[in-house]
């Protein structure tokens, strides 16, 4: 690990030790920090003193997912690994690995699961998903343009080509399990089509609160600005939504504006993937939309995000999978909070149902939608 990462880690640990009233030498890997999950005052004091180089990556969610110092160190290591330069030259000049292992042991895993990024472009969005099973490796996929000085002005197909190649470096052949949250649903759908066009089998496709582009517009930039201003795009610290995240969202929106999906076509001999949809059940705005008069509520995707959900069908995805049944589940939390504690525990369970084929047993959670298109 670079010296910078080591010094940042040591600086943060010194802050935690001081706020816990301990000597830094007594802070071991098994020191329990689970109290920070519930002690809001103490965690807030620590967050105010987080070293500058880690401020975008250490927030309330970190303390909700890390139970001891070893967990916290592992989180920092993964964060810093994202900033290491690639081992090969790249015209995009990205400093980030594209496929990031979040959970599991690659040497012993029997199944690999790839989750494409949301509008933030960061695979770290899935960092809080709890371990599903020792036999499963969970990967978060980064945008090749995340934190890059180069602005992405291409298409979703351009990105899908890059992601497909990177995923096949980790898993050369199927069957594949892919998924994605929000815009990640579009990304995973297009990567699935590319893999299938190569003669590979995509076994399962998991769409996590992803409003189908056939029915919903691209998210207006004004909504992103409003959410960021009111710190409603996740569990960020008092510093608010990071600028890089807002920039990434605006870049993604530009690609989504140009995107219109077409139905999945299966070559002879290739079996269709099982399709699973997980919907959030709550609206983003806790105070109701009346508190945000600057938003244009005539835009369907805006209403979809901010209002409490009342519909949990396929909502357009059925048109992209002709004559194919779809399994649908709903979970607590709003669009941006389903990947954060405590809601992420439910998301982890639902993903476990899908990956391990338990959804048929969990009848109270999963409903089968019979496609008649």
Rounded to a whole number of angstroms, the CA Rg of the chain reads 20
Residue 55, preceding peptide bond in cis (omega within 30° of 0): no
Q: Which pLDDT score, from 0 to 100, does residue 200 have?
A: 94
Of 283, 304, 299, 245, residue with least CA distance to 119: 245
Whole-number Å distance between alpha carbons of 143 and 131: 23
Question: What is the pairing mode between strands 136-141 and 111-116?
Answer: parallel
Any idea which residue has 């600086």 for tokens? Answer: 11
Decide if 94 contacts 144 (C-beta within 8 A). Answer: yes
Which domains, ranges and CATH numbers included, belong to the chain?
1-81 (1.10.1200), 96-369 (3.40.50.1820)
Whole-number Å distance between alpha carbons of 11 and 21: 15
The partner residues of 111 in beta bridges, in order of sequence, read 136
Decide if 143 contacts 154 (C-beta within 8 A). Answer: no
Q: Which pLDDT score, from 0 to 100, does residue 90 have?
A: 43
- By CB atoms closer than 10 A (0-12, 13-18, 19+), residue 264 is buried
Decide if 174 contacts 168 (C-beta within 8 A). Answer: no
Q: Which pLDDT score, from 0 to 100, does residue 178 have?
A: 98
Whole-number Å distance between alpha carbons of 242 and 49: 17
- Hey, what long-range contacts does 307-313 have (CB within 8 A, 24 or more apart)? 307/283, 308/281, 308/282, 308/283, 309/279, 309/280, 309/281, 309/282, 309/283, 312/279, 312/281, 312/367, 313/369
- Collapse the DSSP code of 38 into the 3-class scheme (helix H, G, I; strand E, B; otherwise coil) and give the result: coil
Decide if 228 contacts 246 (C-beta within 8 A). Answer: yes
Q: Between the CA of residue 81 and those of 74, 115, 141, 153, 277, what are the distances in Å?
A: 10, 18, 14, 26, 31
Q: Could you tell me the pTM of the whole model? A: 0.76
Q: Can you give the pLDDT of all 373 residues of the chain as single tens digits?
A: 344 445 777 888 888 888 777 888 888 888 877 766 665 677 777 777 777 566 556 766 676 667 788 888 877 777 666 554 444 434 444 457 899 999 898 888 899 999 999 988 889 889 889 989 989 999 999 998 887 666 678 899 999 999 999 999 999 998 999 999 999 999 999 999 999 999 999 999 999 999 999 999 998 888 878 877 777 666 555 555 667 777 778 888 889 999 999 999 888 888 899 999 999 999 887 666 666 777 888 899 988 988 888 889 999 999 999 778 899 999 999 998 999 888 999 999 999 999 998 877 776 788 888 776 5
């Amino acid at each position: 690990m670079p010296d910078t990462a080591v010094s940042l880690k040591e600086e943060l640990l010194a802050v935690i030790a001081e706020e816990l009233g301990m000597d830094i030498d007594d802070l071991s890997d098994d020191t329990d920090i689970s109290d920070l999950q519930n002690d809001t005052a103490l965690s807030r004091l620590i967050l105010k003193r987080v070293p500058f180089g880690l401020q975008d990556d250490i927030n309330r969610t970190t303390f909700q997912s890390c139970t001891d110092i070893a967990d916290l160190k592992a989180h920092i290591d993964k964060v810093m690994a994202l900033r290491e330069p690639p081992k090969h030259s790249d015209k995009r000049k990205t400093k980030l690995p594209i496929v990031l292992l979040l959970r599991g042991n690659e040497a012993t895993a029997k199944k690999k699961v790839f989750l494409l990024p949301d509008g933030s472009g960061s695979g770290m969005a899935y960092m809080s998903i709890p371990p599903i099973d020792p036999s499963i490796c969970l990967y978060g996929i980064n945008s090749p343009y995340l934190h890059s000085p180069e602005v992405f002005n291409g298409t979703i197909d351009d990105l899908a080509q890059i992601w497909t190649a990177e995923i096949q470096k980790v898993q050369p052949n199927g069957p594949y399990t892919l998924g994605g949250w929000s815009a990640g649903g579009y990304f995973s759908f297009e990567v699935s089509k590319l893999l299938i066009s190569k003669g590979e089998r995509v076994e399962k496709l998991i769409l996590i609160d992803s409003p189908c582009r056939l029915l919903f517009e691209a998210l207006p930039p004004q909504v992103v600005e409003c959410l960021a201003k009111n710190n409603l795009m996740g569990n960020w610290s008092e510093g608010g939504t990071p600028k890089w995240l807002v920039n990434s969202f605006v870049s993604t929106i530009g690609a989504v504006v140009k995107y219109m999906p077409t139905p999945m076509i299966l070559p002879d001999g290739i079996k269709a993937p099982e399709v699973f949809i997980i919907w959030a059940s709550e609206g983003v705005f806790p105070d109701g939309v009346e508190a945000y008069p600057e938003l244009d509520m005539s835009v369907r995707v805006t209403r979809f995000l901010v209002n409490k959900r009342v519909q949990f069908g396929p909502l357009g995805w059925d048109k992209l999978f002709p004559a194919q049944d779809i399994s649908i589940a709903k979970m607590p939390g709003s669009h941006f909070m389903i990947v954060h504690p405590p809601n992420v525990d439910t998301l982890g369970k639902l993903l476990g149902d899908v990956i391990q084929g338990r959804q048929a047993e969990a009848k109270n959670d999963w409903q089968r939608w019979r496609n008649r298109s």
